[in-house]
Amino acid sequence: MAFREYKFGVMMTGTIFAVTMSITVLFPSMQMSKVPPSATAIQKAKDYGPESGFTIEDPFMTGDNRPTMIGKGKVIFVREGCWWCHTLLPEQTQDWQYFGAPPRVSDFVGESPTVFGSDRKAPDLLHVGSRLPIKGWHLVHHANPRAVQPMSQMPSFNYLSKRDLNALADYMMSLK
């Protein structure tokens, strides 16, 4: 009898898992495939480079599919885990009145990975290119955050090459 109950428990767990995955992954994916790209999504594809694909398999990004500098900056943003603390999806704030409406779902069509961010431990970066339009500031900030923000908790990225820091700064500048 215990084996029968165990088997039933395993089947129920599998069924619940399948239903849950369908609801959280499959159905939203099917809905997203129906959303046409917005003008913002089309511009991002041009900025990042059509061949970039945002893959992290080529860590030096020297292969045939190497992205533009902005696209490489996004790959570095993902690779270094910046999106763990920073978001690219602002809460409803006064920023909306100054910088414009928040992004729509159609602004992310074709973008992979989409890095909305998982936490709000650090400032939202969606409009950072408009708020801080000086590339030199971004270069210094990423190499040594406490040089421009004395109380910053952000780690230093001084181990990145100058080219990688430039790419990351270019990506930050593109977020307008």
Output the pLDDT for position 140.
92
Query: 66 and 17: one domain?
Result: no
d(CA 40, CA 32): 16
pTM of the model: 0.63
Q: Pick out the chain residues at pLDDT < 70.
A: 1, 3, 29, 32, 48-67, 90-101, 112-120
Number of domains in the chain: 2
Output the pLDDT for position 55.
44
CB–CB of 110/45 below 8 Å?
yes
Q: CATH number, domain at 50?
A: 1.10.760.10
Query: 123 and 82: one domain?
Result: yes
Query: 29 and 41: one domain?
Result: no
Output the pLDDT for position 135.
92
CA distances from 44 to 75, 87, 148 (A): 14, 17, 29
Query: 129 and 114: one domain?
Result: yes
Query: 2 and 47: one domain?
Result: no
The mean pLDDT of the chain is 77
